[in-house]
A and B are shown apart, each in its own frame.
Chain A
Amino acid sequence: QKEVEQDPGPLSVPEGAIVSLNCTYSNSAFQYFMWYRQYSRKGPELLMYTYSSGNKEDGRFTAQVDKSSKYISLFIRDSQPSDSATYLCAMSRLSGAGSYQLTFGKGTKLSVIP
């Protein structure tokens, strides 16, 4: 079982829909959770980050973490064509060498159709 699992999609939704993107993880040592957005032929950019279980909202985006279920989600309300991108979850944990290891999901490709 991989440490971080993310459905690659692709996911296609109509403009205005609510989008739910998810990642599951197997290692309870993960402490910090992030979502990156990656447009085609560009590098990933940090979208949201959170540490504790619960919800964090930023405009149309809500990040949700459920540590008991080892499940994180990103919700996009009123989705726009400009939201079409690949969304990568990422999480960090203390590695055996004493530093932190950042692990990325494989990314979910989202298309928002006008």
Chain B
Amino acid sequence: NAGVTQTPKFQVLKTGQSMTLQCAQDMNHNSMYWYRQDPGMGLRLIYYSASEGTTDKGEVPNGYNVSRLNKREFSLRLESAAPSQTSVYFCASSDILGLSRNTKLFFGSGTQLSVL
């Protein structure tokens, strides 16, 4: 019963390097999300995908791109990493289409990313 699986769990990058964070869910959920969590800032939405084939910007999309590969998978790409992108990244999914009044999110275990 995997739920939401994120890879990798840890990553260290140098400034300017690129990488892709992978996320997959096995709950047949329609919607998927990428959040970042920083000390003192809480959880902030980067991008979300209400359904397969659609993506929308969240609160802090700059410096990131996303791909909804299929219903199960949603990836987050950093094209040119910056130290300000050092954070813990969480993928989440929900069975509600997009963010609705009563969206209940199921989170992965997170990716701890350090950009030097």
A106-B107 contact, Cβ under 8 Å, with A43-B90, A100-B99: no
Q: Quick check: is B100 within 8 A (CB to CB) of the other chain? A: yes
Give Cα distance in the complex from A99 to B45, angstroms: 14
Give Cα distance in the complex from A45 to B93, angstroms: 12
B85 to A: closest C-beta gap in Å: 19
Contact partner, A43, options B4, B40, B41, B104, Cβ 8 Å: B4
Contact partner, A92, options B42, B56, B103, Cβ 8 Å: B103
Q: Quick check: is A49 within 8 A (CB to CB) of the other chain? A: yes
Residues of chain A contacted by B4 (CB below 8 angstroms): 43
Closest to B59 in A: A101
A39 to B: closest C-beta gap in Å: 10
Q: Which of B19-69 contact A (CB under 8 A)?
A: 40-43, 45, 56
Q: Quick check: is A42 within 8 A (CB to CB) of the other chain? A: yes
B22 to A: closest C-beta gap in Å: 15
Give Cα distance in the complex from A107 to B34, angstroms: 18
A21 to B: closest C-beta gap in Å: 15
B102 touching A43 by the CB < 8 A rule?
Answer: no
Residues of chain A contacted by B105 (CB below 8 angstroms): 36, 44, 46, 102
A51-B40 contact, Cβ under 8 Å, with A43-B90, A102-B45: no
A88 touching B102 by the CB < 8 A rule?
Answer: no
Residue of A36, A99, A102, A107 ringed by the most chain B CB atoms within 10 A: A102
A100 touching B103 by the CB < 8 A rule?
Answer: yes
A42 touching B110 by the CB < 8 A rule?
Answer: yes
Q: Which of A82-114 contact B (CB under 8 A)?
A: 88, 92, 94, 99-102, 104-107
Contact partner, B41, options A32, A34, A106, Cβ 8 Å: A106
Contact partner, A51, options B99, B102, B103, B107, Cβ 8 Å: B102
Partner-A contacts on B (CB < 8 A) = 4, 40-43, 45, 56, 90, 92, 98-110
25 contacts between A and B (CB under 8 A): A8-B40, A36-B105, A41-B110, A42-B109, A43-B107, A43-B108, A44-B90, A44-B105, A45-B107, A46-B104, A49-B102, A51-B102, A88-B42, A92-B99, A99-B56, A99-B98, A100-B98, A102-B45, A102-B103, A102-B105, A104-B42, A104-B43, A105-B42, A106-B41, A106-B42
